[in-house]
Amino acid sequence: MRRILKGTVVLGFVGVLLIGLLTGCGSGDNNETKTKEQKSGAVKEQPSKQEQKSLRVTMALSEEEWEVMKKYIITPFEKENSVKVEAIQVEAGDVVKKLEAMRQAGKMEIDLIAQDVNNIAPLVSKGLVEDLSEFTNTIPNEAIESLVNAGKFEDATYFLPYRPNVEINFYNEVKFNEYGLTPPKTWDELLNVAKTLKEKEGIGRLALKMKLTGNVIEPVEFIRQAGGDPLVLNDEGSIKAYTFLQELWPYLSEDSLKAGFSSTNSFLANESVYYAPNWPFGVNIIVKDGGKKEIKAYSGFSGPVKAAKTLGGEVIGVPVGSPNKELALKFTQYLMSKEVQQILVIKLG
Amino acid sequence: MFFLHNITFTHWIKVFESGNLWPPLKKSLTVATLTMLISLFLVVPASYAISRLGKKAKYFFVLSLFFTRMFPHVGIALPISVTFLKWDLLDTNIGLVMAHLISQLPFMTWILVSTFEAIPIELEESAAIDGASRLRTLKNVVLPVAIQGIAVAAMYVWLNSWNEFTYALYLSLSTKTMPLQIYYYVQRGGFFQQAAYSTILAIPVICITFILQRYLKSGYLGGSVKG
């Protein structure tokens, strides 16, 4: 009797394993079957719902941004064009990896990418995106010229302008008031703020993103503010910028060496730094999510020659081998339209 | 610093209601469990066979297992993922399981070869003298003694698969695993979501460790062979 019971238990366990194995082999949707059927030509006439075209788009957005994107931008486009837009979260650095793998496999699964403008060069140099030069006439006249030019490589346009962005400078108002400081407007004032914070607290509380792994946005801003060209590096402006950074360095927070766009929000919110530049999405995280209402933002400081900020934001590209290039370009035009741009500015700032 | 001003479940409710939790959790659980089960199914008999080989042959096998671990994941992930994409394994559980098995099979074999080696051959000979067949000896004598090593290996493989990131990044597009989901919140999300997701990631780890740790007892071989 005990043996039969044991056998039944073992049999049941093996059964569960087999069911798990079969379930695990599933793909979650019926796209695979559909594709195979479409390839073999077995399905010629299907109900209109199954014929509905689908567009796969990658973007890198926060949850608040996704909410606006899905509700106010994607849904109206889907309704108007009777298509399905599958928008997927992929960070800019990972887009390169994914497209490279798909290109090598000869199976491009992404139709359109909304890519960080500071991460587009590898996509062009690796030949992962289409030349969109013939579609430059669809760029609205109101588009920011610098963003249009950012998508050009050797006179060919690979990316179309979509969503401009620029860093703002965050500061802790309570701490600034406590030490009688005001947000710095010049390099001298910046140095003074950094010195005062270090003097009062014993450690540096002013952070800049100075990771030595390729994040050059802020050093480049210093060079441009001093009238230099970051592509020359040894011109007068660059020398002036690096000389000033050398002077500023002892008073900076140690977090400057590890500050990224994500960690800077944490540094400001947990008050390990009282001043740091970052992208505007930080407002949602620090103030709305974190409840740190004392963290304020302003436009930043100027250098000895001019005020300069690096243009960030996103541009749109079409991967080589995109299965729905025509629809992708239609969606691109929609994203560049005044209607969408207004929604982005009003809802997301 | 973030001091606890008031207790609220708002962030947890937000995480549960967002719809971003269940699909990655299901995928991670399925992939980690399948990787562990398939590894056990393949590696337990293979390791036993290797452990009973002659010294030179055993050395050759163990060395070749080391060889497969010599390449860093990031270096081989792209060519492997390209092959899997060609086989239409993007966004499938089985694709990810196969990718995880590449590194987990040799890993589990190392542990289990040492486990089976530690079991004296005299134990099997005694069973044979008592009339037990080879299979029965394996089932009733060797495996029960080796259970703690098997439990440790299973636990490690499950945890490695549960935490795996590189292959998941290449082979997932629409459906993500838990580490990818946490990566998203670390990059883009708020502190509270990061904390909530990290806690959720840790819960199954605690459960699996708790379940398997009861097999981790010493003294299984105590008094099995006369000195």
Q: What is the mean pLDDT of chain A?
A: 85
A189 pLDDT above the threshold of 80: yes
Contacts of A56 in chain B (CB under 8 A): 173
What is the arithmetic mean of pLDDT over A289-305? 91
Distance from chain centroid for Cα B25: 16
User: Which of B18, B85, B93 is opposite residue A101, by nearest beta carbon?
Assistant: B85
CB contact at 8 A, A298 and A185:
no
Length of chain A: 349
The model's pLDDT over A73-91, given as tens digits with 9 standing for 90+, comes to 999 999 999 999 999 999 9
The CA distance from A89 to A99, in Å, is 14
Residue A101 to residues A115, A127, A182, A236, Cα–Cα distance (Å): 17, 13, 50, 43
Two structure tokens written together for A32: 């695979």
Answer yes or no: do A176 and A228 share one domain. Answer: yes
- The DSSP letter of residue A143 is S
Q: Tell me, yes or no, whether A43 lies in a domain.
A: no
Across the interface, of B2, B18, B188, the residue whose CB is closest to A270 is B2
Which of A105-114, B21-30, B218-227 is least confident? Answer: B218-227
The radius of gyration of chain B from alpha carbons, rounded to an integer in Å, stands at 22
CA distance A235 to chain B (A): 36
Indicate whether A5 belongs to any domain: no
| Greater pLDDT, B225 or A273 | A273
* Cα–Cα dist A199/B111, whole Å: 56
With a cut of 60, say whether residue B20 has pLDDT above it.
yes
Q: Are residues A200 and A92 in the same domain?
A: no
Q: What is the pLDDT of residue B76?
A: 87
Domain count, chain A: 2
Pairing label, strands A160-166, A168-172: unpaired
Backbone conformation region of residue A292, classed left if phi is above 0, alpha if psi is from -120 to 50, else beta: beta
Helices (H), chain B: 10-17, 22-51, 55-68, 73-86, 93-117, 121-129, 134-137, 143-163, 166-171, 178-188, 191-213
Cα–Cα distance, A71 to A340 (Å, whole number):
12
Q: Do A311 and A302 touch, CB atoms closer than 8 A?
A: no
Place A310 in a pLDDT band, splitting at 50, 70 and 90: confident
Average pLDDT over residues A310-336: 93
**Tens digits of per-residue pLDDT, A16-68?**
445 544 444 444 444 433 344 343 333 333 444 456 789 999 999 888 888 89
Checking if the pLDDT of A120 tops 50, the result is yes
Q: Which residues of B touch A (CB under 8 A)?
A: 1-2, 18, 30-31, 33-34, 37-38, 78, 81-83, 85-86, 88, 90-94, 97, 169-170, 173-175, 183-184, 186-193
**Model pLDDT, residue A27:** 44
The more confident residue out of A5 and B101 is B101
Same domain, A123 and A178: no
**pLDDT (0 to 100) of residue A20:** 47
Q: A11-15, A214-218, B109-113, B208-212: which has the highest mean pLDDT?
A: B109-113
CA Rg value for chain A = 26
DSSP A59: E
pLDDT, mean over chain B: 86
H helices of A226-324, in order, are 236-248, 263-269, 282-283
CB contact under 8 A, B30 and A24: yes
Of residues A20 and A313, more confidence is placed in A313
For residues A222 and A279, membership in a common domain is answered with yes
For residue A146, the one-letter residue type is S
Q: At what angle do helices B191-213 and B178-188 cross, to 10 degrees?
A: 150
Cross-strand bridge partners of residue A59: A89
Interface test with A, best of B1, B21, B85 (most A CBs within 10 A): B85
Least confident of A83-97, A105-119, B58-72: B58-72
Both A70 and A190 in one domain: the answer is no
Note the pLDDT tens digit of each residue in B149-206: 899 899 999 999 999 999 999 999 988 999 998 888 888 767 777 888 888 888 888 8
B59 min Cα distance to partner chain A (Å): 33
Per-residue pLDDT at B29: 93
Nearest CA in chain A to B85: A105
**How many CB atoms lie under 10 A from the CB of residue A336?**
20
ipTM comes to: 0.78
* Whole-angstrom distance, CA of residue A72 vs CA of residue A347: 9
Residue A278 lies in a domain: yes
Identify the contact set of chain A against chain B, taking CB-CB distances under 8 A: 17, 20-21, 23-28, 32, 56, 60-63, 86, 88-91, 94, 97-98, 100-102, 104-107, 109-110, 262, 266, 269-271, 281, 284-285, 289-290
Whether residues B189 and A26 touch (CB distance < 8 A) is answered with: no
- Identify the structural domains of chain B with CATH numbers, from first to last: 10-213 (1.10.3720.10)
Encode pLDDT of A279-290 as tens digits.
888 887 888 777
Residues B188-222 as b or e (16 or more Cβ within 10 Å = b): bbbbbbbebbeebbeebeeebeeebeeeeeeeeee
> Of B202 and A193, which is predicted with more confidence?
A193
Using DSSP, state whether A166 is helix, strand or coil.
strand
Task: Please indicate, yes or no, if residue A238 is contained in any of the structural domains.
Answer: yes
The nearest alpha carbon in chain B to A273 belongs to B1
Q: How far apart, in whole angstroms, are the C-alpha atoms of residue B167 and residue B72?
A: 12
Are B204 and B162 a contacting pair, CB within 8 Å?
yes
Q: What is the pLDDT of residue A349?
A: 66
Kindly state whether residues A94 and A189 are assigned to the same domain. no
- Out of A62, A94, A105, name the one closest to residue B86 (CB): A105
Q: Is the pTM value of this prediction over 0.90?
A: no
Residue A27, in any domain of the structure: no
Contact (Cβ atoms closer than 8 angstroms) between residue A281 and residue A65: yes
- Same-domain check for residues A235 and A138: no
pLDDT of residue A46: 42
Report if residue A38 sits inside a domain.
no
Same domain for A65 and A107, yes or no, is yes
Task: Say if residue A204 is in the same domain as residue A286.
Answer: yes
Higher model confidence: residue A200 or residue A20? A200
pLDDT reported for residue A72: 94
Beta carbons of A106 and B184 less than 8 Å apart: no
Distance (Å, whole) CA B78 – CA B101: 16
**Is the pLDDT assigned to residue B101 strictly greater than 70?**
yes
Please give the residue that has the higher pLDDT: either A308 or A39.
Answer: A308
How many Å apart are CA A165 and CA A278, to the nearest integer?
11
Among partner residues B33, B92, B187, which is closest to A262 by beta-carbon distance? B187
Q: Residue A242: which CATH number?
A: 3.40.190.10
- Asked if residue A266 is part of any domain, the answer here is yes
Exposed, middle or buried, A13 (CB in 10 Å: 0-12/13-18/19+)? exposed
Residues A114 and A200 in one domain: no
Q: Are A58 and A91 in contact (CB under 8 A)?
A: no
Residue range A106-117: mean pLDDT, rounded: 94
Residues A283 and A205 in one domain: yes
Q: Which range has the worst mean pLDDT, A212-221, B49-58, B76-85, B146-155?
A: A212-221
A29 lies in some domain:
no
The pLDDT value recorded for residue A51 is 62
Which residues of chain A have a CB within 8 Å of the CB of B189? Answer: 62-63, 285
Distance (Å, whole) CA B32 – CA B37: 9
Burial class (CB in 10 A: 0-12, 13-18, 19+), A82: exposed
Q: Are B157 and B33 in contact (CB under 8 A)?
A: no
Query: What is the predicted pLDDT for the residue at A348?
Result: 78
Residues A302 and A320 in one domain: no
Contact B86 A107 (CB under 8 A): yes
- In terms of residue numbers, what domain contains A79? 51-164+312-348
State which amino acid sits at residue A156.
Answer: A
Chain A, chain B: beta-carbon pairs less than 8 Å apart: 98
Is B82 in contact with A101 (Cβ distance < 8 A)? yes
Is the Cβ pair A24, B31 closer than 8 Å? yes
